[in-house]
């Protein structure tokens, strides 16, 4: 199981190339690496989020035994809760993906996150958040969020990258924080 994959552009490639991963390319790469299943969300820039959620849905429908959908959200969008409800309740996505650095918000200063986390608790789905980019999303902020929302499982994507020496301390501090190692 690969807990963190993207179709579309990755965080870095979207700035340097127009290359977009297709679902078929992802499945081929999974086969090459011996990966049976993967959690997938759309990659790309903020203005591409809604389109990438649609492409993720198409991919999950095409490969239901291989791909698990995570809805990519930005708390900056007015209809973020409607988007969350649609993909989790109606389309059966199993998680939420947030990217504070790319979307321009800090985990501790974005009020809409509380409503997103409340919905995650209600639907019993995890929240995966890009980490390791100061000041947007560093380890201590993850632990603080996890303490405030003990019924939500938080996944620290990239385990803080290489910039955060407090990752393990944060993960030990709360039981609902999981480190993801891509």
Read off the CATH number of the domain in which 169 is found: 3.20.20.140
Is 98 a residue whose pLDDT tops 80?
A: yes
CA pseudo-torsion sign 1, 5, 7, 120: positive
Cβ-proximal residues to 149 (8 Å cutoff; 6+ apart), any chain: 117, 118, 120, 121, 176
Residue range 141-158, pLDDT digits in tens: 878 899 999 999 999 877
Q: How many domains does the chain have?
A: 1
Q: Please tell me whether the overall predicted TM-score, pTM, comes out greater than 0.85 for this model.
A: yes
Phi and psi for 132 in degrees, rounded to 5?
95, 10
- Parent domain of 167: 2-179
What would the mean pLDDT of 78-91 be, rounded to a whole number? 98
**% of the chain residues with pLDDT over 90:** 55
- CA 66, chain centre distance (Å): 18
**Residue (of 46, 52, 61) closest to 5 by Cα position:** 52
């Amino acid at each position: 199981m690969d807990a963190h994959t993207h179709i579309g552009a990755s965080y870095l490639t979207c700035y340097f190339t127009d290359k977009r991963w297709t679902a078929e390319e992802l499945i081929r790469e999974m086969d090459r690496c011996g990966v049976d299943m993967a959690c997938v969300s759309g990659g790309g820039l903020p203005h591409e989020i809604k389109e990438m959620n649609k492409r993720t849905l198409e991919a999950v429908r095409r490969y239901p035994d291989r791909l698990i959908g995570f809805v990519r959200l930005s708390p900056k969008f007015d209809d973020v809760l409607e988007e969350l409800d649609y993909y989790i309740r109606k389309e059966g996505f199993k998680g939420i993906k947030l990217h504070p650095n790319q979307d321009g918000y800090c985990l501790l200063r974005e009020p809409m996150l509380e409503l997103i986390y409340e919905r995650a608790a209600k639907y019993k789905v995890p929240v995966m958040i890009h980490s390791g980019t100061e000041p947007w999303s560093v380890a201590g902020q993850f632990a603080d969020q996890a303490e405030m929302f003990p019924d939500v499982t938080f996944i620290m994507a990239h385990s803080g990258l290489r910039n955060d020496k407090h990752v393990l301390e944060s993960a030990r501090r709360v039981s609902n924080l999981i480190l993801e190692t891509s």
